[in-house]
Chain A
Amino acid sequence: MWRRIFVVFLKEVVDNSRDRRSLLVALIYPLLGPAILGILISAVIDVVSAGQARDMTLAVKDGERAPGLVRFLEERGVKVTPAPLDPESAVRDGKVEIVMVIPDDYPTRFRAGQTASIVVVANSSRLPGLVALNHAAALLGDYNREVWGARIASRGVDIQELRPLDIKSIDVAAGTHIAEILLFMVPPLFIFNLFMGGVYLAIDTTSGERERGSLEPLLINPVERWALMLGKYLAALFFTGAAVAVQLMAFSVTFHSAAGGTLAFAEVLSIAAIAGIVLMTLPLMMVAVGVQFIIATVTRSFKEAQTYLGLLPLVPAIPGMVLVFAPVQAKAWMMMIPAFSQTLLLGAFVRGETLPMADVALSMSSSLVAALALIAISAHLYDREKLIFGG
């Protein structure tokens, strides 16, 4: 019987590899997620690293009112430029990222030893604006401390006594920090793709076969119906596996090029790791194809199947999208839920954590049990008389 199953498998793989739509879904769609993420990450890294560069430009309005501050800024490598006439609209329109405005009472208050205000105009909804604002705030804080220290010293107090702590933070993530957050998009994109890869085959080999009128003659051959179903199922699984592998390789390539090799994840996503992820998620692929087969078998037409199966990949991807913003601590029971467990495991992998073998085993075995149940249901559906009529 395995020979006949292989005959069906081979025919469906050859048949569908001649189909532009099947190939598109299995080989081209998987590239979209990595491409979008790659563009996002390289854009973010460009902005952040540009903002951190030494030669920051700062527009200062009425800088002559605060010569000490301007000198301080220039000593710190800031290029001070004249400000536009209307700072607020210039910043809002994105002509400049940030403008520092010195009010007219600044010189008198500063000289009198009172608190003098400075207005900083920035647009924090723009990433470059946010970066510039942080940088400017840090510089002003330094200046504040310098002036403050000088004034206290002039009154004969030791500044050390008033500053028990001097906080110097070293952020190792620095430029890649925001990019790392974008990496958490990998699990939902992965799950979506996994549920998408074999969809076209599942429809084509089931509702499609019925609609073409080729199902009835096929069923007359001396092969068990479950064996016909299994051959088709394995072909859809094969295309799903191809889609998953293509996407992982695309992730690896884009992360290497987008971040110039600075992303930790790019290093981790080796060929061996890709093979490991494919193996780890194989039971989930079996679940995905099982669900696709059940839906494609009970729907009456190609179009009906397409309607349901087009939406299907979104459902298991939603938890992963939520986790991008609100990560949870993985618990054992979560490892029992197909799609969710793989989302968590892949999330942990993306963060560079070591995956607990017990969790991997639990995730794989629970998904495998679910997959076998779905296959049994599909086989049962294939055995019904109604199969040739649909519904």
Chain B
Amino acid sequence: MIRVHGLKKSFPPVMALDGVAFEALDGEVTGLIGPNGAGKTTALRILYTVLRPDSGAARIDGFDTVNDRRDVQRRIGVLPDSRGLYPRLTAREHVRYYGRLHGLGGADLERRIDALIETLGITDFADRRARGFSKGQTRKVAMARALVHEPHNLLLDEPTNGLDVGSSRAVHKLIDGWRRQGRCVLFCSHIMQEVAAVADRIVVMAAGRIVAQGTVAELLRRTGTDDLERMFLSLTGRTESW
């Protein structure tokens, strides 16, 4: 469960977030969408505790992302904006490292690692070093290390960015599975079709503000169009230009 209200953040002279408020409920997938530079990544970075808001607050399961940072970190699994691996560690060692940083260890941790390697389809390259991994392989390992502590809330920044159709579908399936388990999923994307296909609710951002929230059907009705892309452009006040 994620609650955000009055979130402001500036990187002078840019006002990255200008009073952002939204909710993401358990058992639902919430899609944060907006054009490049809308503030999606900044909003997520505040949620996953690496940035502090200038004002306003973000709460995850009731814990404040600034004051209860450790509690928040224990409850979130994150695919952040930068998601690099260590070239000299194997896939399995990546997951083990994060597990240990979460205080896990022993047979319990190894069991979790084996399960994740199986679920995410890492088996073939589990004991290979990360140097030379493909984008898809890298993404799987980044996912696995984010899930090792079985977090209730999932924050994904452009989870399918750069992936081929097959890998993207696998990610969508994964997200759908978390929804069924009653977890809270918040992901951001700039691809309208993806958000419409995966998300239960959509939060549309533009220039650091929330410009619309609701289900796909509600937003289509509101903009009086049946075309997703046209709806997106209409809501964000953008035209077909650079």
A221 x B73 contact (CB < 8 A)? yes
Q: Does A49 contact B (CB under 8 A)?
A: no
Interface string of A256-297 (1 = CB under 8 A from B): 000000000000000000000000000000000000000000
Q: State the CA gap A4–B88 with chains docked (Å).
A: 21
Interface string of A1-38 (1 = CB under 8 A from B): 00110011001001110110000000000000000000
| Range class of the A interface residue count | 20 to 34
Q: Does A157 contact B (CB under 8 A)?
A: no
Q: State the CA gap A364–B89 with chains docked (Å).
A: 37
Central interface residue in B73, B82, B89, B142, by most chain A CB within 10 Å: B82
Q: State the CA gap A216–B142 with chains docked (Å).
A: 12
Min Cβ gap A197→B in Å is 19
B101 x A221 contact (CB < 8 A)? yes
A15 x B89 contact (CB < 8 A)? yes
Q: State the CA gap A4–B70 with chains docked (Å).
A: 13
List the A side residues contacting B170 at CB < 8 Å. none
B84 x A213 contact (CB < 8 A)? yes
Q: Closest chain A residue to B97 by CB distance?
A: A11
A220 x B52 contact (CB < 8 A)? no
A216 x B86 contact (CB < 8 A)? no
B73 x A7 contact (CB < 8 A)? no
Q: Does B103 contact A (CB under 8 A)?
A: yes
A385 x B80 contact (CB < 8 A)? no
Q: Does A177 contact B (CB under 8 A)?
A: no
List the A side residues contacting B52 at CB < 8 Å. 385
A213 x B82 contact (CB < 8 A)? yes
Q: Does B33 contact A (CB under 8 A)?
A: no
Q: Does A215 contact B (CB under 8 A)?
A: yes
Q: Does A174 contact B (CB under 8 A)?
A: no
Min Cβ gap B64→A in Å is 15
List the A side residues contacting B98 at CB < 8 Å. 217, 221
Taking chain B's interface residues, is the majority helix, strand, or loop, or is none over half, making it mixed?
loop
A214 x B103 contact (CB < 8 A)? no
A220 x B82 contact (CB < 8 A)? no
Central interface residue in A212, A214, A218, A220, by most chain B CB within 10 Å: A220
B74 x A385 contact (CB < 8 A)? no
Q: State the CA gap A385–B89 with chains docked (Å).
A: 27
Min Cβ gap B14→A in Å is 13
Q: State the CA gap A215–B51 with chains docked (Å).
A: 13
Central interface residue in A15, A214, A215, A223, by most chain B CB within 10 Å: A214
B85 x A4 contact (CB < 8 A)? no
Q: State the CA gap A212–B52 with chains docked (Å).
A: 23
Central interface residue in B50, B51, B73, B89, by most chain A CB within 10 Å: B50
Q: Does A234 contact B (CB under 8 A)?
A: no
Partner of B102, one of A11, A214, A221: A221
Q: Does B123 contact A (CB under 8 A)?
A: no
Given contacts A7-B97, A222-B74, whether A212 and B87 have CB atoms under 8 Å apart is yes
List the A side residues contacting B101 at CB < 8 Å. 4, 7-8, 218, 221-223
Given contacts A18-B88, A221-B102, whether A215 and B82 have CB atoms under 8 Å apart is yes
Q: Does A189 contact B (CB under 8 A)?
A: no
Q: Does B81 contact A (CB under 8 A)?
A: yes
Partner of B83, one of A15, A213, A388: A213
Interface string of A140-177 (1 = CB under 8 A from B): 00000000000000000000000000000000000000
A15 x B84 contact (CB < 8 A)? no
List the A side residues contacting B88 at CB < 8 Å. 15-16, 18-19
Min Cβ gap A232→B in Å is 13
B50 x A220 contact (CB < 8 A)? yes
List the A side residues contacting B81 at CB < 8 Å. 216
Q: Closest chain A residue to B87 by CB distance?
A: A212
Q: State the CA gap A88–B183 with chains docked (Å).
A: 95
B70 x A222 contact (CB < 8 A)? yes
Interface string of A217-229 (1 = CB under 8 A from B): 1111111000000
B97 x A222 contact (CB < 8 A)? no
Q: State the CA gap A319–B125 with chains docked (Å).
A: 52
Min Cβ gap A338→B in Å is 33
List the B side residues contacting A385 at CB < 8 Å. 50-52
Partner of A15, one of B48, B76, B86, B142: B86
B86 x A219 contact (CB < 8 A)? no
Q: Closest chain B residue to A214 by CB distance?
A: B84
Partner of B82, one of A11, A18, A217, A222: A217
List the A side residues contacting B83 at CB < 8 Å. 213, 216-217
Central interface residue in A18, A213, A222, by most chain B CB within 10 Å: A222
List the B side residues contacting A19 at CB < 8 Å. 88
Using a CB-CB cutoff of 8 Å, which residues 34-87 of chain B contact chain A? 48-52, 70, 73-74, 76, 78, 80-87
- Return the 9 tightest CB-CB contacts between A and B, nearest first: A213-B84, A213-B82, A212-B84, A222-B73, A221-B101, A214-B84, A18-B88, A7-B100, A216-B82
In the assembled complex, 12 residue pairs joining A and B whose CB atoms fall closer than 8 Å, in A order, are A15-B88, A16-B88, A217-B78, A217-B142, A217-B145, A220-B48, A220-B73, A220-B78, A221-B73, A222-B74, A385-B52, A388-B50
Which residues of A come within 8 Å of B, CB atoms? 3-4, 7-8, 11, 14-16, 18-19, 212-223, 385, 388
17 additional A-B pairs beyond A4-B103, A213-B82, A385-B51, beta carbons within 8 Å, are A7-B97, A7-B100, A15-B86, A15-B88, A18-B129, A212-B84, A214-B85, A214-B86, A216-B82, A216-B83, A217-B83, A217-B84, A217-B146, A219-B49, A220-B48, A222-B102, A385-B50
